[in-house]
């Protein structure tokens, strides 16, 4: 275990109508949870280049209009991991708007990709957080820790104000 945090880039791909692309993780830490496309920042890489590379590798979609949105500090002691996650937003370039699980580049990253309403993501965070605090049972979807931390560390975060109304 490296005692230094790693840098992850999470990409909020928005459709301009209040929806984001999310994938159900498999085969890595956070398996079973929902997350945005993204991955590790490579040596010498910019956030923009990382975002374009990761979205294309994971969903098959080219993106444009990348903007920094927020960053979180994500400590995962049970998994022996510590990340600084940089959240960027963008839109899809071209006519094809349907994400696919890439059978060539990263077939084991996510089992599926879907467009999700941003308001549903907010509800999932609220339900998951309340259940973890012992304030009831949550039967909905669970989100990858950096997304939960995004709402904890930036409570008013809303990318739809930058990329269209929901």
pLDDT tens track for 40-60:
999 999 999 999 999 999 999
Residue 1 has pLDDT above 70, yes or no: no
Give the percent of the chain with pLDDT over 90. Answer: 68
pLDDT at 55: 95
Q: Which domains does the chain have, with CATH numbers?
A: 6-163 (3.90.79.10)
- 95-99's contacts with Cβ under 8 Å and 24+ in sequence apart are 96/61, 97/15, 97/61, 99/13, 99/21, 99/23, 99/37, 99/58, 99/59, 99/60, 99/61
pTM score, whole prediction: 0.91
Measured in whole angstroms, how far is the alpha carbon of residue 147 from the centre of its chain? 6
């Amino acid at each position: 275990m490296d005692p230094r945090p790693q840098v992850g880039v999470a990409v909020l791909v928005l459709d301009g109508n209040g929806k984001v692309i999310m994938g159900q993780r498999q085969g890595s830490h956070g398996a079973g949870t929902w997350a945005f496309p993204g991955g590790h920042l490579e040596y010498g890489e910019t956030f923009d280049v990382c975002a374009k590379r990761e979205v294309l590798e994971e969903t098959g979609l080219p993106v444009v209009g990348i903007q920094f949105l927020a960053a979180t500090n994500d400590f995962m002691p049970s998994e022996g991991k510590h990340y600084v996650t940089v959240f960027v937003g963008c839109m899809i370039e071209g006519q094809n708007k349907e994400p696919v699980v890439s059978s060539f580049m990263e077939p084991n990253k996510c089992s599926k990709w879907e467009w999700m309403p941003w308001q549903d993501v907010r509800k999932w965070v609220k339900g998951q957080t309340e259940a973890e605090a012992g304030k009831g049972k949550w039967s909905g979807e669970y989100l990858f820790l950096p997304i939960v931390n995004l709402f904890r560390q930036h409570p008013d975060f809303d990318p739809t104000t930058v990329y269209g109304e929901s």
